[in-house]
Structure 1
Amino acid sequence: MTEYRVLHISDMHLSQVRPHNVRNWDFCVAKIEELQPDFVVVGGDMVLDDPDAADDHAFAHAQISRITVPWRALAGNHDVGDTAPAPYQGQLVSNERRKRFLSLYGADYWARDLGDWRLIGLNDLIFASELEAEREQATWLAARLKEWREKPIALFLHKPLCLDTLSETVITQAAVTPVGRSRLLELIADSDVRLIGSAHTHRHRNFLCDSIAMIWTPTIGQVNQGFRVPRGGDQRTGWIMYTFRGQEVEWELMHFPELQPVDISELVKNYKAMRFVPPALSAALS
């Protein structure tokens, strides 16, 4: 039986000017070349911190483009802006920010078929945004689900769909909002969605919600001890490797001693955001 390996890697936070994560990224590129997975999901937050920093976008895209196996990227909040009501640094997702992402990566939602499975990547930052792009993505998703009816589906988002339960009402930057979640759940209600892979929190968790496996992939390097979500999670650096075989899927959390965590806790405490950190202090962490 043919099997397909899919690597889910995320939260690179890359910048040429503030290069503290570049060393870890160099290792990731070399390891992907060695492992030769069938597909790579690049889970978002390619850009260091500021979705309006054009130089960081260009640098991050050039770095991601070093991957030689097939890959597709998801948009993170640091790439296209964040969701209401309290977007990070006041930068709400917008048409302009999304357009910049599309100019580099071509699409912010996509489908990839591997054997019996359909992998679907979505831009969760536009959930409940009331942008026209939200409606376009929903229409596209409905069509892709209908085509794959009664076959297994894996969804990939940047933010987790929830922190603990699908019925929770908490509004937090750490997960999709309740309104956004309810709209997605309505769309996938009649489909065989078996897992939802996400990132964003810089830590790993896995749990079941109504028979859907929720798998959080960690960061490749940048750790902020001040960024807390309920129930903690594993803050070690690494990624998730999925193996799709027939209608089954297995996953493995992979850690490597070469991926040393880059602790930005004090810098964020002192400077409020990495975009304000003097480049020399960033370089000192690498």
Structure 2
Amino acid sequence: MKPSSLLKTIVIVIIYVTSYNSAFSQSSKPFSFVFMTDIHLQPEKHAVEGFEKAIAEINHLKPDFVITGGDLIMDALKQSYGRADSLYELYDKVSSELNMPVHNTMGNHEIFGICNTKTDLSQNPEYNEKMFEKRLGSSYYTFSYNGWKFFILNSVEKDDMGCYIGWIDDQQKEWIKKELSKTDKDTPIAITTHIPFITTFNQVYYGSSLGNDSSLVVANSKDILDLFKDHNLKLVMQGHTHIAEDVYIDGIHYITGGAICGAWWNGPNRNTEEGFALFKVDGDKFNWEYVDYGWEVKK
């Protein structure tokens, strides 16, 4: 290679690396977001007032966006269509007071009619997960923000032997594989699931040798986590148990985000006050805190 050609090559490489670093820097600016889960919104128990107080605190903190962790309403599982419809309308109205984008996750209490033992609602066009999908969009999807990729998963399935279980079905599993095939392996990834993948709830509160049943955890979570093994999974955000918990293993934080409603608007749940998780992200690192937004139970 002639010296002039070598010089040109070096210059091109330098320009490329500089441009790449500049683009990476721009796409990985620090940002913050809130993970709020288990709102259980209802007209009773001053829940609207409590949720509005949480929203006011979130608006004050000015995160870039909000992710909800499911159980947005109380509830659609066992209720009539009229009750479930009114709760979705209430959630849509009150959550619109948030000043930033909201990415919703489906919880078990958003699923319409599957636990109603008095009335067969299976012929209703919004039966099961269709009510959530009609009102709030797809029950699983991804979005990207400042270099991170967020997987919002549907971790609840109807159980023919009972009511519901924690499970990721085969269709969603194939979708995850396709999404990962389009995702750079260095991209930091966060997952949101209503029902936990990993939790110490039973072991802490009921006995260290106890296992977890499929209503408390996603029964096939290992299969799902194995799909992410060759990728940069950093964070799994969870709801359902109404406790604040951080399990860190193999480089992944499994963070259960407490509950906006505490113990279903009856005060704190165990040692967890009514609150939400605030995340601050810088590059592929993050820190988080549980924010008690100051709600006191009203009777």
Using the size of structure 2 for normalisation, the TM-score is 0.72
1:170 aligned to which of 212, 215, 219: 212
Q: Secondary structure at the match of 2:129?
A: helix
Give RMSD over aligned pairs: 3.1
Query: Which string of whole-angstrom CA distances, capped at 9 and with x for unpartnered residues, describes residues 207-228 of structure 1?
Result: 11332111111111241699xx
Q: Distance in 2 between matches of 1:175 and 1:90?
A: 24
Which residue matches 1:254? 291
The question of 1:10 aligning with 2:41 is answered no
Q: Which of the pair has the greater relative contact order for Cα pairs under 8 Å at 6+ separation?
A: 1
Q: Which runs of 5+ in 2 are unaligned?
A: 1-24, 202-209
Highest Rg: 1 or 2? Answer: 2
Query: Which string of whole-angstrom CA distances, capped at 9 and with x for unpartnered residues, describes residues 164-184 of structure 1?
Result: 39xx9531522222xx21331
- 1:3-82 matches, within 5 Å, as 3-16=30-43, 18-51=44-77, 52=79, 53-80=84-111
Query: Which string of whole-angstrom CA distances, capped at 9 and with x for unpartnered residues, describes residues 90-109 of structure 1?
Result: 79xx9822111011111111
Q: Residue 90 and residue 138 in structure 1: after superposition, are their counterparts in 2 closer, same or farther (change >3 A)?
A: farther
Q: Distance in 2 between matches of 1:124 and 1:224?
A: 21
* Structure 1 residue 127: Cα displacement: 9.4
Residues 117 and 244, structure 1, Cα contact 8 Å, conserved in 2: no
Q: Secondary structure at the match of 2:151?
A: strand
Q: Secondary structure at the match of 2:156?
A: helix
Using the size of structure 1 for normalisation, the TM-score is 0.75
Q: Distance in 2 between matches of 1:176 and 1:234?
A: 24
Query: Which string of whole-angstrom CA distances, capped at 9 and with x for unpartnered residues, describes residues 66-121 of structure 1?
Result: 32311110001111169xxxx97779xx9822111011111111222122211111
Q: Secondary structure at the match of 1:25?
A: helix
Query: Which string of whole-angstrom CA distances, capped at 9 and with x for unpartnered residues, describes residues 146-189 of structure 1?
Result: 22222210111111112239xx9531522222xx2133123222
Q: Distance in 2 between matches of 1:90 and 1:207?
A: 37
Q: Distance in 1 between matches of 2:174 and 2:97?
A: 32
The one-letter code sitting in structure 2 at the alignment partner of 1:14 is L
The one-letter code sitting in structure 2 at the alignment partner of 1:213 is H
- 1:1-286 matches, within 5 Å, as 2-16=29-43, 18-51=44-77, 52=79, 53-80=84-111, 96-126=127-157, 134-148=169-183, 149-164=185-200, 170-177=212-219, 180-223=220-263, 234-257=271-294, 259-260=295-296, 262=297, 285=299
Q: Distance in 2 between matches of 1:90 and 1:241?
A: 39
